[in-house]
Structure 1
Amino acid sequence: MKKLLVGSLLVLLAACSKVNMESYDQIKTGMSYTEVKKVLGEADKCEDKLANTQCIWGDEDKHIKVNFVADAAVYFDHKGLIPGQ
């Protein structure tokens, strides 16, 4: 029974993922990390580089990547997202 419950919760969490085209379309140039986090939730990974911070939501196959300079989104892209899903 526990396995069924855990499996159901994992499916539910995956269905609630904010890594989708609808969320991606809400990201705009100039948004702060806090504003992006309101749309996508906490980033799965952030890495500080020379003059920017790059954050990724999702995994290698399906993700949204946002680059911030001085806490403002300057570049963002996605991989594996399908319009309408």
Structure 2
Amino acid sequence: MLVRMRLAVVLVALVMLVGCSKLTMENYSKIKMGLGYSEVIKILGKPDSCSEALFVRNCIWGNEQQNITVNFVGDKVILFTSKNIK
């Protein structure tokens, strides 16, 4: 009985994590040119990675198969793309 309950708790937690992904077309559509970095964080959460080169910050949410990429200059969105977002 205890093993079944633990398994149920783990399964519910996994479903919640998968179901709570911020990599959605709804969230992607909220990103606009000129939006601030902190505003994008409010929409998508903390990025999985960021890099900077020549005053451009490139941040990625997700992985190679499914992601949202946003480029910032002076803390403002200048370019954003998505891959396999539903």
CA deviation string 1:32-64 (max 9, x = no partner): 110001111111111112220000111111110
Separation in 1, partners of 2:67, 2:85? 7
Partner amino acid, structure 2, of 1:40 = L
Structure with the greater alpha carbon radius of gyration: 2
Separation in 2, partners of 1:56, 1:2? 34
Normalising to structure 1: TM-score of the pair? 0.87
Unaligned 5+ runs, structure 2: none
Identical positions, percent: 44
Unaligned 5+ runs, structure 1: none
CA RMSD of aligned residues (A): 1.2
Runs (4+) of structure 1 moved beyond 3 Å? 1-4
| 2:27 alignment partner in structure 1 | 23
Partner amino acid, structure 1, of 2:85 = L
- The size of the alignment, in residue pairs, is 82
Normalising to structure 2: TM-score of the pair? 0.86
Higher helix share: 2
